[in-house]
Amino acid sequence: MIGFLGCGHQPPAVVATHAAPVVSRGVAGVVFDSLSGHALPGARVQLVDATHPALPPSTLISDSAGAFAVPDIAPGRYMATFYHPRLDSLGIRSATLLLDLRDAKGMWLDLAIPSVSHLRAVMCGARAATDSGGMMMGRVLDARTRAPLDAALVTGEWLNPSLVTRRDLRAPTRWTQTVSRSDGTYALCGIPTTTDISVRAELPAKTSGIIAVRGSPGGILTRDFYLADSQRVTIRGNVVNVEGGPIAHAHVTVPDAHVDAMSDMNGVFSLTVDRGGTQTIVARAIGFYPEERSIDILPDTVLWVELHLPTMLSVLDTVHVRGRRLTDDASGFDARRAAGVGTFLTPTDIAARVPRTAADLVERSPSTPLIRLPDGHLGVRVRGSPCLPTLVLDGQTIPLLLDLSEIDEIVELSRIARMEIYSAGEVPPIFMRGLPCAAVVVWSKR
């Protein structure tokens, strides 16, 4: 844990819009979460006699409004602090305050989780308190023992679309790293607040998988990482639709473990990974939008994962744009083709190639010839290496799980109106989710 008093910093007081209420006797107050801007219910507030610290403390639990009160307390000097799982998730502890209750009247006490700017100043340096960058906090733990891990390397990587120019549509990659402390806590500073971030934690003999984290406009994300060595662990679960009904024949995979399974008629699946810890699990079925979720796979525990897949129609129809069309190139296809980066197929190009499958269209791209992946499935060759590209259908990213031919399971060849094919380093920022080695962008007929 990180103690603010030990670091020489005092958490800022809550800025009240009115004078503190008058307390006739004892101690009363409110516990506040400055990060979320809301009161903190369920906080355990403790008052310890500073003169006789060995005596049992007075313990109170804040109510739904974050309030607490202890009217029957003897005059004297007390140390006050509070505990809450929110503090644990941030890897910090509350400051200890000294109260003087020698007067006859009572005292109002505000207790607070520090603000974003204060946390960033403490964890990332004074300059971070005024910049616009975000921060990710949490703990690195051993998956087997749940013990904190010291000196684990935590790495965050993301694309920087702000550096893209009209001449060069490639989005450069940026990254930042930090090391966990002896108590397992870490703070990854300087991350973006509106971009997907790929994060992993590792030690020489233990590692987690890579998980995707969405940047937080509030500036702070929290995530614990569990690291595991080589040990086979079984994951069980089910795949259901939004109504809770089973989805049969859904593909479920843990990408970093290179394993996959298929759900049965009841939507139930089971797969075994060679390494547990924090991993990403992905489920996909024809006609449904995929779900990607980070999970903690811990040895000697029973893990059941329920994955909910919305229908493709429900996802694609959620956005309705109304207004006067200013251009016939609503998808931006013509503008990207004019930039000269990537391979572009118009309806005329597709008809001229007389393809049998969508994979035939990809194969004839000079930068992405077909190749067998190490596991025997079909992919493309990018800069001499096998690659399984990401599919983008009408603007929605749909990761392929095993084989390039899955494109034909998702969209009928006769429905393809236009296609864009990008190799590594060419993928426009609007189609980047994670760090794909290549992308196939399909625009269907309307």
What does the block give as tokens for 238?
Answer: 């089910």
Rounded Cα gap, residues 68 and 279, in angstroms:
40
Rounded Cα gap, residues 253 and 280, in angstroms:
9
HSE-up (13 A, CA, CB side) for residue 277? 28
Mapped onto helix, strand or coil, the DSSP state of residue 168 is coil
What does the block give as tokens for 332?
Answer: 């931006």
Amino acid at 407: I
Answer for the pair 121, 129: CB distance below 8 angstroms, yes or no. yes
Which segments in the chain show pLDDT lower than 70? Answer: 1-20, 104, 126-132, 160-172, 216-219, 312-330, 366-367, 384, 434
User: What distance lies between CA 155 and its chain's CA centroid?
Assistant: 13
Contacts of 56 by beta carbon, 8 Å cutoff, 6+ apart: none
Which of 176, 195, 132, 166 is closest to 430 using CA atoms? 195
Dihedral sign (CA 431, 433, 435, 441): negative
pLDDT tens by residue, 335-346: 888 877 888 888
User: What distance lies between CA 37 and its chain's CA centroid?
Assistant: 21
Which of 214, 89, 215, 197 is closest to 141 using CA atoms? 89
> What letter would DSSP give residue 407?
H
What the chain holds in terms of domains, given with CATH numbers, is 2-114 (2.60.40.180), 132-227 (2.60.40.10), 230-314 (2.60.40.1120), 329-444 (2.170.130.10)
Rounded Cα gap, residues 25 and 334, in angstroms:
74
Which of 406, 404, 360, 408 is closest to 379 using CA atoms? 404
β-bridge pairing 268-275 and 230-241 = antiparallel
Counting every residue written for the chain, the total comes to 446
Number of helices (H) and strands (E) in the chain: give both, helices first.
Answer: 7, 33
Phi-psi region of 5 (alpha: psi -120 to 50; beta: other; left: phi over 0): alpha
CA of 165: how far to CAs of 215, 301, 339, 421, 426, in Å?
Answer: 23, 50, 11, 20, 12
Q: What's this model's pTM, rounded to 2 decimal places? A: 0.62
Contacts of 208 by beta carbon, 8 Å cutoff, 6+ apart: 200, 201, 202, 225, 226, 227, 228, 277, 278, 279
Rounded Cα gap, residues 113 and 35, in angstroms:
7
Rounded Cα gap, residues 275 and 238, in angstroms:
21
* Helix, strand, coil content of the chain in percent (nearest 5): 15, 40, 45
Which of 72, 76, 86 is closest to 48 using CA atoms? 76
What does the block give as tokens for 156?
Answer: 């965050």
Mapped onto helix, strand or coil, the DSSP state of residue 256 is helix
Which helix (DSSP H) or strand (DSSP E) does residue 336 occupy?
helix 333-339
pLDDT tens by residue, 169-218: 444 578 889 999 998 989 898 888 777 788 999 999 899 998 988 776 66
Q: What is the pLDDT of residue 314?
A: 53
Mapped onto helix, strand or coil, the DSSP state of residue 348 is helix
Dihedral angle over CA of 253, 256, 257, 261, nearest 10: 10
Rounded Cα gap, residues 161 and 184, in angstroms:
33
Rounded Cα gap, residues 440 and 423, in angstroms:
9
Across the chain, which distance is largest between two alpha carbons, in Å? 93
CA of 49: how far to CAs of 94, 98, 293, 387, in Å?
Answer: 18, 10, 47, 65
Rounded Cα gap, residues 196 and 159, in angstroms:
8
What does the block give as tokens for 210?
Answer: 């890579």
Rounded Cα gap, residues 280 and 282, in angstroms:
7
Mapped onto helix, strand or coil, the DSSP state of residue 284 is strand
Which helix (DSSP H) or strand (DSSP E) does residue 20 occupy?
none
Q: What is the pLDDT of residue 326?
A: 46
Rounded Cα gap, residues 210 and 279, in angstroms:
7
